Amino acid sequence: MKDNIYNYSRTSFEDYFLNIGSPKFRATQLFEALYKQRIREFSEITNFKKEFRIKLEENYYFGDLEIEKEQISEDGTRKYLFRLEDGILIETVLMKHNYGYSVCVTTQAGCNMGCAFCASGLIKKKRNLSTAEIVLQVLKIDNSLRKEGNRVSHVVVMGIGEPFDNYENVIEFIKVINDDKGLEIGSRHITISTCGIVPKIYQFSELPLQINLAVSLHFPNDEMRSRYMKINKKYSLAELFKALRYYYQKTNRRITFEYILLAGINDSLENAKELVELVRGMNAYINLIPYNETGLFKRSDEKTRRAFFDYLMKNGINAIMRKEQGHDIDAACGQLRLKEMQ
């Protein structure tokens, strides 16, 4: 069976080419054809000999994602519903910022992490997305931005799914988009968000890529975190922070913590104090997220959020209050897909 050409990093193609007795610079040429010129047929790779193109054609095809629906918000946020080859629907969000365009990619069809506040988990994981299916989310959107003279400059791996539960494909995806012969998205412009799969954090610490790590923390003690996030029953906060301190020591990179403020649950100054204790001494950056109400919980009010934020700043912890985008188009976390499937 033929394989999707977007499934591989340049290094993987180098191995493939060496295996079939071709020089490895062919991988660079192929990458430039795929990601710079954006060719969609082997016959368009004019610097490849015909026999060679036929050989590639025997092994690979050009995968695609079908655009099922596109919604555009007043603030410029765009939400795409894509159909995969087997019919599964996934969603991808494009956000416009003053520093560029960022795409939020989905890594799994559904999610098994089962966080109580998240709409993504309402649909169980059907399967992991392939590298190509993640690459194509960015490529398709970049193609349409190109027509307007713009490009995708940032990627956040924060869509549906747990990226560290699909580790190999996600890392291969990162290599494709980060490659200067590929989509050329700078490593400092790429962020992976995990709910805290500890063994993968250790593995990630060894990766020679300067990409950003974000952790969905949300609760400042085990009692609370285990109640609302299944993953905490497997890896306690002590284990999680041991791994994160290892990552920090190894990479010297800042870690972002996502913290959704839920009214009356995790938004007291007592909680802020616990949070400060937890992250002290590790160059933490706290991202306070206004909750997108999807069910059980209520968003903390402005005043409470402000007080929580001030407490962190006063205690020397870097924080920001994330502003909301695309609220008029169900832009948060599995809402569009959920609606489409119901």
Binding site for ligand SAH (CB under 6 A): 113, 115, 117-119, 158, 162, 193-195, 216, 258, 260, 289, 291-292, 294, 332-333
Task: Compare residues 30 and 113 and give the one whose CB is closer to ligand SAH.
Answer: 113
Beta bridge partners of 324: none
Minimum gap (Å) between residue 294 Cβ and ligand SAH: 5
Task: Compare residues 60 and 297 and give the one whose CB is closer to ligand SAH.
Answer: 297
Minimum gap (Å) between residue 41 Cβ and ligand SAH: 35
Task: Compare residues 33 and 317 and give the one whose CB is closer to ligand SAH.
Answer: 317
Q: Is the dihedral of CA 98, 272, 118, 135 positive or negative?
A: positive
Task: Compare residues 180 and 302 and give the one whose CB is closer to ligand SAH.
Answer: 302
Task: Calculate helix-pair angle for 10-19, 167-178, nearest 10 degrees.
Answer: 90
Whether residue 116 contacts residue 229, with contact meaning beta carbons closer than 8 Å, is answered with yes
Task: Give the Cα separation of 64 and 82 in Å (integer).
Answer: 10
Whether residue 305 contacts residue 261, with contact meaning beta carbons closer than 8 Å, is answered with yes
Task: Write down the catalytic residue from 57, 66, 91, 111.
Answer: 91
Has 239 been annotated as catalytic?
no
Torsion of CA 256, 261, 265, 269, to 10 degrees: 80
Minimum gap (Å) between residue 82 Cβ and ligand SAH: 17
| Bridge pairing between strands 127-128 and 152-157 | unpaired
Whether residue 337 contacts residue 91, with contact meaning beta carbons closer than 8 Å, is answered with yes
Minimum gap (Å) between residue 214 Cβ and ligand SAH: 7
Minimum gap (Å) between residue 267 Cβ and ligand SAH: 14
Residue 16's nearest CA partner among 60, 61, 62 is 60
3-state secondary structure of 97: strand
Task: Compare residues 115 and 176 and give the one whose CB is closer to ligand SAH.
Answer: 115
Task: Compare residues 91 and 162 and give the one whose CB is closer to ligand SAH.
Answer: 162
Task: Write down the catalytic residue from 85, 172, 333, 340.
Answer: 333
Cα–Cα distances in angstroms (integers) from residue 301 to residues 185, 263, 272, 288, in the given order? 36, 7, 15, 13
Minimum gap (Å) between residue 116 Cβ and ligand SAH: 10
Please provide the DSSP assignment of 276-328 as one string: HHHHTTS-EEEEEEE----SS--BPPHHHHHHHHHHHHHTT-EEEEPPP--GG
Q: Alpha helices of the chain — where are they, by DSSP H?
A: 10-19, 25-31, 50-59, 131-147, 167-178, 198-205, 222-228, 231-234, 237-251, 269-279, 302-314, 335-341
Task: Compare residues 193 and 232 and give the one whose CB is closer to ligand SAH.
Answer: 193
Minimum gap (Å) between residue 17 Cβ and ligand SAH: 34
Has 91 been annotated as catalytic?
yes
Active-site residue set:
91, 333
